[in-house]
Structure 1
């Protein structure tokens, strides 16, 4: 798995919010969707290679209202908002997710030499690909609920509570 290769976007109306993944002439297969109240994580196969992408929305959505339109040129995944209102942005502030990527470089991982050349996205995708179902659930929940500031693989901890956003330390 590598960096997400497809152009993507999000938009909103007062009642709905949606993400769009543009196929750009590539062979794209939607493998998994994991909607949560704060966002969605998807897994796609692009030209035979698997990729993961997460979106954290500005406010809560109704995950059970997910509608997928898998067309020839794009995939659109739409949800009803938990409350009818216009948000300043469809997605949570990009400032909230910045610390996630800046802080990982300071962690001492055993496989650090291999990872340097591949980038942090590849490393995190490797963790996800080899994780248990509980660890994957913990990763989804912690990332989405915290707006991208927390990433945990500990389901025993994350499953019991709401994961709050944490500012960089």
Structure 2
């Protein structure tokens, strides 16, 4: 197979319930793509030409719910949405290195694994010039594609969470988990000393599942 030198670039962010991975591959640069979800791994495949395929494997830091995860092809990127099994904050996208299968995402180019120079560290807590350029590229692309619906809501939650102090983050985590995802509070003074009750939307009734 012929090699074109194409490098896949990606970024990620999270909300209380989901992790989103944006792979920057424009629609006119990809022929087809697919995503395979497992509890501890996500595999992204893309055909750039009829004879050139690239793959990224993510060994995710925490377990996800494969059947509740999805992906969406947009003009400037492919958005992969992972549903967290437990509503906790991930400190990194991938599991910490230590074993052969716990490494940074591998880009497999035409059947041969190679290091990804644009993501040589696990989280956004470290920056390099390549990372700064990637963030800039993503911002430019996302300005053209303003999020709507769930994407806009998740983006808002992400901004609140990332900009909040420890008490805001604890309040969001506690209220979301204890209420079954029906309440999201940023006030630790209100939710810190009591259990957050389930509050289903108007017109709906909450029923506890029984075996």
TM-score (norm 2): 0.43
Residue in 2 that maps onto 1:64: 67
Please give the residue correspondences for 1:118-157 in structure 2 after superposition, counting only pairs within 5 Å: 121-122=108-109, 125=111
CA distance in 1, matches of 2:41, 2:31: 20
CA distance in 2, matches of 1:71, 1:121: 22
Per-residue deviation, residues 102-154 of structure 1 (Å, max 9, x unmatched): 9xxxxxxxxxxxxxxxxx9558x269xxxxxxxxxxxxxxxxxxxxxxxxxxx
CA distance in 1, matches of 2:30, 2:55: 13
Q: Flag the structure with higher strand content.
A: 1
- Higher RCO, 1 or 2 (CA under 8 Å, sep at least 6)? 1
Residue in 1 that maps onto 2:7: 5
Specify which of 80, 84, 92 is matched with residue 83 of structure 2. Answer: 80
Unaligned 5+ residue runs, structure 2?
Answer: 114-211
Unaligned 5+ residue runs, structure 1?
Answer: 103-119, 128-169
Secondary structure, in 3 states, of the residue corresponding to 2:91?
Answer: coil
Per-residue deviation, residues 33-54 of structure 1 (Å, max 9, x unmatched): 2100012012101244211111
TM-score (norm 1): 0.52
Larger Rg: 2
